[in-house]
Amino acid sequence: MITGHFKTRYAADEGIWSTWPKKLSLVLCLLALFVLPFFANNYVLLLASQIAIFIIAVVGLNVLVGYTGLMSLGHGAFFAIGAYTAVAVHGVWPNAMPLITLAIATTVAAFFGVLFGLPSLRVKGLYLAVATLSANFIVLFLIKREWMAPWTGGVSGIETPNPMLFGIELATQRDKYFFIIPVMVIFVLFAQNLFRTRFGRALIAIRDKDYSAEIMGISLFSYKLKSFAISAAYCGAAGCLWAYFFPAILPEDFGLSMSITLVVCLVAGGMGRTLGPIFGTMLIILVPELLKVLATLITQGDANAQRYFSPLRDIVFGLMIIGFLIFEPMGLVSVWDRFWRVVGRWPFAK
């Protein structure tokens, strides 16, 4: 039974995984991610890779919303910037290394994050959310212009290249999975460690009380823009991986619905925690797929029955999300915390 966490060294106090159950769960998760492609079919790998890409984007949104306290409804735009930047880089440099393309897409998205983050210096809350909403409309408007068609394909979209890693073309779902998952793990670990630094603690101070943080010497101008840059960079990296993973991209892929989906994933998982985006993304992406499988089993593949059942499936999913937010407003991460508290007090926990 875990009765307490007694730290005798600074290294132990700074450790992320302080107990053996947490260390064991981390090892098992990494092992499962490594073993999965050897047993899963392409459909499962498609879902797993899509979840990993969205986790990167939602973790980035969590940096801004969960840790800095700045609301945004425009992160779908940064997702699009990363995707189209990757395609543009390969248009100029066909054999570009995917890691180099990833770095370029991340940097370009971070620049636009600073640009669209300027309103945060004057407004916050709902007003900031509306201000960042303009990012979606502006970016999509530019993508659809004819003069941008050589790089974006315009309204009809554009085909995306397969990444070439050390001369090997990553063409199959399994190959792309093994490229996406390590990138996702690195980005998640970076975010986890970011808030153990002075910079991360400054962002948390801004979230809790920005005026008090400014009195303590924290530059709101600098830290808010840096938070926007990091958050947008994460979405840009996710967009780059999205472009590599799918054979083509369309402007409609990055509309307002994507920005809202990212926010819903964050709220459902739990804001201000690194595990929150992971749990929330898995919930929002996997539950509709499970409902689709359930609908197929109930209707026995009848096309007419599925046509009537499809709206009901969406209603059930919406009601589930509403009920979840009402009865578990802190997100899935609070359920995870309660589970480990029970494990730590076993056999005396009730």
Answer yes or no: is pLDDT of 347 > 70: no
Cα–Cα distance measured from residue 142 to residue 124, given in angstroms and rounded to the nearest whole number: 26
Answer yes or no: is pLDDT of 292 > 60: yes
- Around Cβ 342, how many Cβ atoms within 10 Å? 12
Answer yes or no: is pLDDT of 273 > 60: yes
CB 82, CB 254: distance < 8 Å: no
Answer yes or no: is pLDDT of 305 > 70: no
- Tokens representing 59 are 């973790």
Give 231's pLDDT tier (boundaries 50, 70, 90): very high
Question: With the C-alpha atoms ordered 113, 114, 119, 124, is the resulting torsion angle positive or negative?
Answer: positive
What is the share, in percent, of the chain residues with pLDDT greater than 70? 89
Answer yes or no: is pLDDT of 344 > 80: no
Strand partners, 164: 169
Condensed to tens digits (0 to 9), the pLDDT of residues 178-221 reads 999 999 999 999 998 888 888 999 999 999 888 888 888 888 88
Stated as kind and residue range, the H or E segment containing 249 is strand 248-249
Rounded to an integer, the average pLDDT of 22-42 is 87
What integer pLDDT is reported at residue 1 of this predicted model? Answer: 45
- pTM for the structure as a whole: 0.91
Give 228's pLDDT tier (boundaries 50, 70, 90): very high
CB 242, CB 53: distance < 8 Å: yes
What is the share, in percent, of the chain residues with pLDDT greater than 90? 31
- Tokens representing 141 are 């408007």
Cα–Cα distance measured from residue 223 to residue 209, given in angstroms and rounded to the nearest whole number: 14
What integer pLDDT is reported at residue 60 of this predicted model? Answer: 94
Measure the N-to-C terminal CA separation of the chain; round to a whole number of Å.
14
Cα–Cα distance measured from residue 265 to residue 326, given in angstroms and rounded to the nearest whole number: 15
| Chain CA centroid to CA 327, Å | 24
Cα–Cα distance measured from residue 114 to residue 120, given in angstroms and rounded to the nearest whole number: 10
CB 249, CB 242: distance < 8 Å: yes
Nearest Cα to Cα of residue 117 among 234, 232, 195: 232
Condensed to tens digits (0 to 9), the pLDDT of residues 152-168 reads 888 888 888 888 877 77
**List of domains in the chain:** 10-345 (1.10.3470)
DSSP 346: T
Burial class of residue 145, CB neighbours in 10 A (0-12, 13-18, 19+): exposed
Condensed to tens digits (0 to 9), the pLDDT of residues 79-126 reads 999 999 999 998 888 888 889 999 999 999 999 999 988 887 787 778
- Around Cβ 198, how many Cβ atoms within 10 Å? 7
Block residue for tokens 């007003």: 127
- Around Cβ 55, how many Cβ atoms within 10 Å? 26
The alpha-helical segments, DSSP class H, found in 149-219 are: 149-152, 173-194, 198-208, 210-215
Give 324's pLDDT tier (boundaries 50, 70, 90): confident
What integer pLDDT is reported at residue 288 of this predicted model? Answer: 83
Cα–Cα distance measured from residue 114 to residue 109, given in angstroms and rounded to the nearest whole number: 9
- Around Cβ 229, how many Cβ atoms within 10 Å? 22
Q: What is the average pLDDT score of the chain?
A: 85
Best-predicted range by mean pLDDT (50-54, 66-70, 162-166, 205-209): 50-54
More confident residue, 15 or 258: 258
Answer yes or no: is pLDDT of 318 > 70: yes
